[in-house]
Amino acid sequence: MSTQAIEVPTDAELLQAQADLWRHSLYYLSSMGIRCAVELEIPTTIHHLGGVTSLPDLMSALSLPPGKMSFLARLMRVLVTSGVFAADIGSESGVELYRLTPLSRVLVHGVVADEHHSQKYFVLGVTSPHYTEAAFGLTNWFKKDHEPPVPSSFEDIFGVPLCDEKTPLLDEELDKVVNLGLAAHDNLGIATILRECHDIFKGLESLTDCGGGDGTTARAIIKAYPHIKCTVLDLPKVVDKGPADGVINYVPGDLFHSVPSSQAVMLKLVLHTWNDEDWPIMFEAQLFMDMLMMVNSKGGQRGENDWRKLFMKAGFTDYKIVKKLGARSVIEVYP
Ligand SMILES: C[S@@+](CC[C@H](N)C(=O)[O-])C[C@H]1O[C@@H](n2cnc3c(N)ncnc32)[C@H](O)[C@@H]1O
């Protein structure tokens, strides 16, 4: 055992360290709190109540047993503190009122707003028992000397990769929730991209969306720029489900083999740029996303240096970060 002395923190440091320890060790209650809110449909219920509600009205709209009123107040207090909801004292009634915030508005289910769909399934997927079990398995996974390609902790525990043809055999409901969650996640912000980056679509006549999924992004582009001829390239199992309505040219294939020719090619996945000290919360969100991918897939988030190397290795001459949009970025890459 080491007999080395340890630096004793000051009283103030010690108290701060204890508070930080509570926060970091109990972050999972923040995740489970937002999951509980989504499962109870609190955001959707507040929306149906006009976007603002008192605790008793929320209780009765949720049909919860009266004995749970004070407990719901405690859950709401945590969710208000973390920005999921807002609270204030009604000027007329003098009682506390809960309101939706931008965060809880994207959790309202059954309403399509600004081209995007509710993020309900994103929350249910990433806080699911399978995801959390994969995260629990991280210590064992680190200790195992895996042969490359190193499986994710998820695959190591459950024997199948996530988002794979075999995932439904593990759990059909999980597969459904994860796919709905991914679709919701990928579609969030399309309207923002079109508004904020309209210059990149100006003068464009044809575009291939590589890995464009069911064509939701391509559809939003055509709606905003009807003259652009959009092709969606994706794996046959994805494209075969796309509607053959003539609006989008769906091409089944593998982007590593060939890409239908067009004026520009789009790869809309999640391109994160790091090293942005001005955005510590965005940075933390990006790091959590990287950790999520490490636990559940073989992928990871790339920093700007990684992207630069990748673009150059692929034979491109230059790139430009056109826009940073929250935790994501739009990057133009030039031949
Ligand atoms: C994370 S999703 C992104 C979907 C869409 N671009 C978006 O942002 O909404 C990745 C997509 O890439 C597709 N994909 C994966 N491997 C591919 C390949 N080799 N060739 C073509 N598409 C592929 C998947 O089927 C999936 O639809």
pLDDT tens-place string over residues 38-56: 999 999 999 999 999 999 9
If you measure from the C-alpha of residue 204 to the centroid of ligand 1, how many angstroms do you get, rounded to a whole number? 22
User: Do 159 and 237 sit in the same domain of this protein?
Assistant: no
In order of 39, 44, 187, 194, the CA distances from 53 in angstroms are 18, 12, 29, 34
Q: Is residue 54 part of a domain?
A: yes
Residue whose CB lies within 8 A of the most ligand 1 atoms, among 178, 186, 214, 232, for a mutation test: 186
pLDDT reading at 286 higher than 60: yes
Least confident of 36-45, 139-148, 208-217: 208-217
Q: Any residues with Cβ below 6 Å from ligand 1, and which? A: 182, 186-187, 211-213, 217, 233-235, 238, 254-256, 268-269
Which domain CATH number covers 98? 1.10.10.10
Domain extent for 90:
12-105
Among residues 47, 130, 185, 272, the one annotated as catalytic is 272
Q: 154, 186, 218 — which closes off a domain?
A: 186
145-164 pLDDT, tens digit each: 999 999 999 999 999 999 88
Q: Is residue 61 part of a domain?
A: yes
Q: For tokens 């942005």, what's the residue?
A: 276
Residue whose CB lies within 8 A of the most ligand 1 atoms, among 235, 266, 293, for a mutation test: 235
For 231, the 3-state DSSP assignment is strand
Burial class of 317 by CB neighbour count within 10 A (0 to 12, 13 to 18, 19+):
exposed
If you measure from the C-alpha of residue 179 to the centroid of ligand 1, how many angstroms do you get, rounded to a whole number? 12
Least confident of 38-52, 158-172, 286-300: 286-300
In order of 81, 189, 244, the CA distances from 47 in angstroms are 19, 21, 35
Number of domains in the chain: 3
Q: Is residue 323 part of a domain?
A: yes
User: Do 198 and 305 sit in the same domain of this protein?
Assistant: yes
User: Do 124 and 199 sit in the same domain of this protein?
Assistant: no
Catalytic annotation present for 24? no
Give the pTM.
Answer: 0.86
151 cis-preceded (ω within 30 degrees of 0): no
Average pLDDT, the chain: 89
User: Do 142 and 82 sit in the same domain of this protein?
Assistant: no
64-105 pLDDT, tens digit each: 999 999 999 999 999 999 999 999 998 888 999 999 999 999
Q: Is residue 133 part of a domain?
A: yes
Residue nearest to atom 23 of ligand 1 (CA): 211
236-282 pLDDT, tens digit each: 888 877 677 788 999 999 888 888 889 998 888 644 444 444 558 77
